[in-house]
Amino acid sequence: MAPSKENKKNKNTKSANVSSTSFAYNKKLIVILSFILFIVSFLLYKNTLHHNYVLDDAAVIKENTLTKGGVHSIKQILSSSYREGFVNNDHGIYRPLTKVMFAIEWQLAPDKPFLGHLMNVIFYALTCVLLFIFLIRFIKINVYILFFAALIFAVHPIHTEVVANIKSRDEIMSAFFLLISLLTIHKYLLKKNILLLVSSLICFFLALLSKESAIMYVAIVPLMIYFFTETSLKENLKITVFTIVTAIAYLVLHIKVMGSIGIPNIHPTDNPILMATSFVTQKASAIYILGKYLLLLFIPHPLSCDYSFNVIPVVTSLGNPGFLLALIVHMALLIYAIIKFKEKQFLSFCILFYLISMSIASNIFMVIGTNMAERLLFFPSIAFSLVIAYFVGKLAKLDFKTLTPNWNVILKANKLVILIFGVLLILFSIKTIARNKVWRNGVILYETDLKTVPNSTHLLLFHADNLTLKDSLIGISDEERKNRFATAQKEIEKLMSLYEQMPDAHNVAGRIWYEYKNYDMAYKEYSRAMSLNPGTASYHNNVATCYFSTGKFREAVAEFEKSTELNNLDADTFCNLGSAYGEIGMAYLRNKVNDSASIFLHLAIDNFTTATQLKPTYKGAFQFLGLTYKAIGDTINGSKYLGIANQLK
């Protein structure tokens, strides 16, 4: 099929001339294909809309007091770490933009995950469309090949964690703003309007505020400009310098807010690479994991929400076959990319794009908070999608140079290749839809993935924790409750046999013993958790509950007070402290030591009041407040607060 006149000047598929303002593609076709892409992306993840909060959603949304502060917390969110407001705060992470989004969503629909899931699905679908437009603007080859690439990206099962886990909005928004930034740079190269360059840099900055790993963009920008435009080296360097300056500005802000770059005190169970015996074996382990990443792109099965300790063994010898194979493959890819770099060969670009976008997550240049996670393949999988589409186009003998051929060009292509590609899309889609269902709630996710990675200490912990959480026990039968705690105990015992020094595991073990009313064992486990991770508010609170349950109210007061000092935003702890003060006060009252009784009962009132201020829907705190007022003879306030409690669910 002969190219149209408007396409003749685009015969060079290695680099496109952006000096022309014409847009050679059929705009109507682009709109139709974009609409199809959006609908496919949305429908694939439609079954996540009614899912619950799961995995990291607790730390960033559901149990994060800052997020739950809604719009009133935005100022503090902008000047604090990503998990500020949660019990375990990773002080090295700064992603205010996505957390502000979560806070606004909580303000609009508190404790209703539907809105968060809906935003994830919508922004994912928009990102897939942006990817398609971005590819069209820069690469300028057969539109169907680029559509194939965007379609592969949209249906790839490796993205299920990113979309189904609300917290992973950071990955989506980072890619979303990076793609807008690249599109804006393309417009700048066409029109040379400085405002367009500024807009591009602003989008890059927003991507960084979504997730720090967007910093690899400083290498992606010159790569895109070099391969797909005829921009001069001087102009390319100018844009790159502005991009680097923007990245530096972000790093300065990051350091000002966080105090440093990187996550301090990464626990080896989060990133087992740290357990390597030497620097060499640490990097060998990182390269071995790069091989597993690459394999997951080609064969996304089985998938897991966790790959930390004890899932992927640390490489102990440079003779490890997995390491050697991963090293050979990646070295071969890099050498090929370098050899073909000067020619601006398409596969060379794809390889370099992949390696650059994987660089931060690779643990080769710096150790990050995890050894491996499927979400980290989100942006790098663009390169994989392009490579697959490229070979589909080649094998199907599609014309790369004709930008928008008629649809019948697909019908005339190699039928077997198109059929195989169609089967791949169907298989990926089926896997994506099936995997989405697993993310419905924590119990289903952890039970399912423990079958894939049975020795994952994190999943053993998460599952045991989820089985025994107060919220998850509401409405279940006594028999089911008993079974849950028995299962949780077995999993915690298995976890302890794999790795004893995990404080949260001891915390869950304490909860289990507390359920069995073995307060001595509960105290022992809570204390062990506290010794492994001093300064954790919840551990002090739990130790205090053991004291409280055995009638040691003064000891309980001391631990509850330590807990409130460490976390002054937890309503439950203030209510517990109020109860401990109340018990001491009532003991004095029974013994007719009225002055002491009044002191402690007023302290109880103060803490119950704080609990109701922190959580205005806290029925129990209002009940205790009303009863305590009645105990000191204030029947007016007693009736008032008991009335409020009766009105609450």
SS (HEC) of 379-411:
CCHHHHHHHHHHHHHHHCCCCCCCCCCCCHHHH
HSE toward the beta carbon, residue 107, CA cutoff 13 A = 14
Q: Give the pLDDT score at 299.
A: 97
Q: Give the pLDDT score at 108.
A: 97
Q: Give the pLDDT score at 3.
A: 39
Query: What are the angstrom distances between the C-alpha of 477 and each of 164, 471, 601?
Result: 29, 14, 37
Q: Does the pLDDT of residue 18 top 50, yes or no?
A: no
Q: Give the pLDDT score at 11.
A: 39
Residues whose CB is less than 8 angstroms from the CB of residue 287 and which lie 6 or more positions away in sequence, other chains included: 323, 326, 327, 330, 364
Query: What are the angstrom distances between the C-alpha of 513 and each of 483, 522, 527?
Result: 14, 5, 13
Name the β-bridge partners of 229.
Answer: 16
Q: Does the pLDDT of residue 168 top 80, yes or no?
A: yes
Residues whose CB is less than 8 angstroms from the CB of residue 587 and which lie 6 or more positions away in sequence, other chains included: 553
Q: How far apart are CA 544 and CA 554, in angstroms?
A: 9
Structure tokens at 324: 């050697």
Q: How far apart are CA 501 and CA 439, in angstroms?
A: 28
pLDDT tens digits, 198-247: 999 999 999 999 999 999 999 999 999 999 999 999 999 999 999 999 99
Q: What angle do CA 365, 269, 440 make, to 5 degrees?
A: 100
pLDDT tens digits, 504-547: 999 999 999 999 999 999 999 999 999 998 888 999 999 999 99
b/e string for 463-473 if b means 16 or more Cβ within 10 A?
Answer: bbbbbbbeeee
pLDDT tens digits, 73-88: 999 999 999 988 887 6
Q: Give the pLDDT score at 89.
A: 64
Q: Does the pLDDT of residue 7 top 60, yes or no?
A: no
Name the β-bridge partners of 16.
Answer: 229
CA dihedral 521, 527, 531, 537 (to 10 degrees): 140
Q: What angle do CA 211, 223, 294 make, to 5 degrees?
A: 65
Q: Are 413 and 396 in contact (CB under 8 A)?
A: yes
**With pLDDT > 90 as the criterion, what percentage of the chain qualifies?**
84
| Global pTM value | 0.89
With H, G, I as helix, E, B as strand and everything else as coil, classify residue 151: helix
Q: Are 415 and 29 in contact (CB under 8 A)?
A: no
Q: Quick one: pLDDT band at residue 468, thresholds 50, 70, 90?
A: very high
* Helix residue spans in 453-518 (DSSP H): 457-468, 478-498, 503-515
What's the average model confidence in pLDDT over 639-649?
93
Residues whose CB is less than 8 angstroms from the CB of residue 55 and which lie 6 or more positions away in sequence, other chains included: 165, 167, 305, 442, 445, 462
Q: Are 292 and 434 in contact (CB under 8 A)?
A: no
Q: How far apart are CA 174 and CA 169, in angstroms?
A: 8
Q: Give the pLDDT score at 157.
A: 98
Kindly report the average pLDDT of the chain as a whole number: 92
Q: Give the pLDDT score at 414.
A: 84
Domain ranges of the chain: 5-18+25-433, 456-534, 549-649
Q: Give the pLDDT score at 406.
A: 77
Q: Helix crossing, 96-108 with 169-191: angle to 10°?
A: 120
Q: How far apart are the first and last CA of the chain?
A: 70
With H, G, I as helix, E, B as strand and everything else as coil, classify residue 116: helix
Q: Burial-class residue 516 by CB neighbours within 10 Å (0-12, 13-18, 19+).
A: exposed
Q: Give the pLDDT score at 90.
A: 63
Give the DSSP per-residue string, 85-104. Answer: TSSS--TT---HHHHHHHHH
The reply to whether 456-534 and 549-649 are identical in fold is yes
**CATH number of the domain at 456-534, please?**
1.25.40.10
Q: How far apart are CA 530 and CA 534, in angstroms?
A: 5
Q: Quick one: pLDDT band at residue 91, thresholds 50, 70, 90?
A: low
- For tokens 């190699």, name the residue: 414
DSSP code at position 125: H
Q: How far apart are CA 555 and CA 561, in angstroms?
A: 10
pLDDT tens digits, 563-593: 999 988 889 999 999 999 999 999 999 999 9
Q: Helix crossing, 96-108 with 113-139: angle to 10°?
A: 140
Q: Using alpha carbons, select from 420, 410, 465, 424 the residue that is nearest to residue 442.
A: 465
What's the average model confidence in pLDDT over 340-368?
96
Q: How far apart are CA 571 and CA 65, in angstroms?
A: 10
Q: What is the largest CA-CA distance in the chain?
A: 103
State the fold for domain 549-649: 1.25.40
With H, G, I as helix, E, B as strand and everything else as coil, classify residue 229: strand
Q: Quick one: pLDDT band at residue 292, thresholds 50, 70, 90?
A: very high
pLDDT tens digits, 406-456: 777 777 788 899 999 999 999 999 999 999 999 999 989 999 999 999 999
Q: Give the pLDDT score at 474.
A: 85
Nearest 5°: phi and psi at 229?
A: -140, 170
Q: How far apart are CA 392 and CA 386, in angstroms?
A: 10
Q: Give the pLDDT score at 16.
A: 37
Pick 404 or 278 by higher pLDDT. 278
Residues whose CB is less than 8 angstroms from the CB of residue 388 and which lie 6 or more positions away in sequence, other chains included: 148, 149, 152, 424
Q: Give the pLDDT score at 278.
A: 95
Give the DSSP per-residue string, 611-637. Answer: HHHH-TT-HHHHHHHHHHHHHTT-HHH
Q: Give the pLDDT score at 464.
A: 96
Q: Give the pLDDT score at 587.
A: 96
Tell me the one-letter amino acid at 138: F
Cβ atoms within 10 A of the Cβ of 355, count?
19
What's the average model confidence in pLDDT over 462-483?
91
